[in-house]
Structure 1
Amino acid sequence: MHAFLETERLVLRPFTHADADHLLALDNDPHVMRFINGGKPTSREAIETRTLPRLLHDYPCLGTHGYWATEEKATGTFLGWFEFRPLDDHSAAVVELGYRLNQAAWGKGYATEGSLALINKGFTDLGVERVTANTMAVNIGSRRVMEKSGLRFLRHFTGDWPEAIEGSEHGEVEYELTRADWGQHR
C-alpha cells in the first residue's frame, strides 16, 4: 500500500476497511481510551459505522485523508494512528494534530516523531498556516508530545463533555504552532 509519509521508524498510510480489527483492539484498551471516553469499550459496529468512515474521509483542500494508520517500519506492526485534519473541509489553513497509539508504542518517541513529520509536511507541502492540538489538561503525556513537537500552550478551556470522565473537571488545553513560528525555529 502507498505510504503517505515515512519517518526513520514509522510508515503513515491510508486506512482501509481491513484495519477494523486493529481499530477494535486499539479502542478497546481502557488505558488508550482513558482520556477519550473514560476507558469504555467500543463495539465493532461503532468502529465500522462511525470510526472507519471518519478515518477514511478525504479532505479536498489537502487532496488526501486527514487520518493515517501508523505502522512500525521495521516490522509492519500496527501502532495506531495520527490525525492531521483540516478544521474546514475546504481550507488547509488550520489543521488539528492528534494521535492514538497502542500501549506498546508509548514512551518510544513515536508520537513525537510522527507529529514532527506531519507538521513539516503540512508547512512545506500542504499549505498549512496553523497547527492546533488539544487534550484534557490532566493528560500530561499528550501535552508533552505537543511541546516536543514545537507546539506552544495557547489556552485552557472547558469542553462540553457528553459524559464527565475522570479528570474532565480540570478542563482541556489547546496548543498551537504557526507557520511563522515554525519557520523561525528550523
Structure 2
Amino acid sequence: MNIDTARARLRPVSASDIDDLVHLDSDPEVMRYVSGGVPTPRAVIEEWVLPRAEAERRRYGTGTWALCDPATGAFLGWASLRTPRHSSRTELELSYRLRRTVWGRGLGTEAALALIAFAFDHLGTERVFASTLASNIPSRRVMEKIGMSLTGIHLCDDSDLFGTPDAPGHAVDPRTAPYDPDRYEVEYEILQTEWRRRSLRWSSTRHRSA
C-alpha cells in the first residue's frame, strides 16, 4: 500500500531499492546512532532486511516503506512499522532513516506521522513505540513532534533499567549512576487513545481557523 504525504510518497520497499538501501547505510553519519558509523553489508540487506520487510507486509500489512520524492521518484530514505516478536500487546515499533541530504526538512516527521495514522486508523494498533540512543537528539525531536512521550531509559546492554513500568528490572538511580547518553537507549510511545484526542484537537483547530 502506498501512502502519500504532503511532500513525499511512501511505497513498500522492493528488490529494486537494494542499491539505495546499501548507499544509505554506507554513510557514517546516517549510521552514527545505529552501528557507530559501521555500514550495513549488502548481504545483510539482501538476505535479512528485505525478506523481513516483505514477510511483515504479507503477514501483518506492515513492513518498510521507501520514502520517495513524488516528482522524481528519488529514494530519500525509509520508514517502517514492525511487529515485535515477543510481545503480547497490540503494538508496533516505528523506525525511520533518511539520507543526510534531506535532514532538517521535516520529512522524517511527516513520514512518521503518516505511518502512525496508518497504524491507528487502518491496523487497529493500540500502541506505537520507537527507541534510539539518548544522545540522538534529532531523532528524539521527531518522536516528540509526532506526539510521543518518553516512557523508558535503559542501558543498551539491558543490564540496568529504570523508568519502564512494564519491566522494572534492576532500578538505577539517575542521581548517582554514571550517565553516558551514548550507552543509554530511550523509548517513546503514543497510545491510540492519545492519538484520537490529538486528532480531534487538530481537527477542531483547523475548523476554527477555517
TM over 0.5, shorter chain = yes
Deviation beyond 6 Å, 4+ runs, structure 1:
89-92
Instruction: Give TM-score scaled by structure 2 length.
Output: 0.78
Give distance in 1, aligned partners of 2:63 and 2:27. 23
Q: How many residues align?
A: 178
* CA distance in 2 between partners of 1:65 and 1:155 (Å): 24
Equivalent of residue 25 in structure 1, options 2, 18, 23: 23
5+ residue gaps, structure 1:
none
1:16 deviates by 1.1
**Where does 1:23-172 land on structure 2 (aligned, <5 Å)?**
23-59=21-57, 62=60, 64-88=61-85, 93-160=90-157, 168-169=182-183, 171-172=184-185
Q: Offset at 1:30?
A: 0.4
Maintained 8 Å contact 1:61/1:90: no
> If the length of structure 1 is used for normalisation, what is the TM-score?
0.87
Q: Is the 8 A contact 2:62 2:80 kept in 1?
A: no
RMSD in angstroms over aligned alpha carbons? Answer: 2.1
Could you say what secondary structure the match of 2:13 adopts? coil
Q: Distance in 1 between matches of 2:75 and 2:43?
A: 21
CA drift of 1:60 comes to 5.7
Higher share in strand: 1
Contact 2:92 2:128 in 1 (8 A): yes
Shift of 1:148: 0.4
Larger C-alpha radius of gyration, 1 or 2? 2
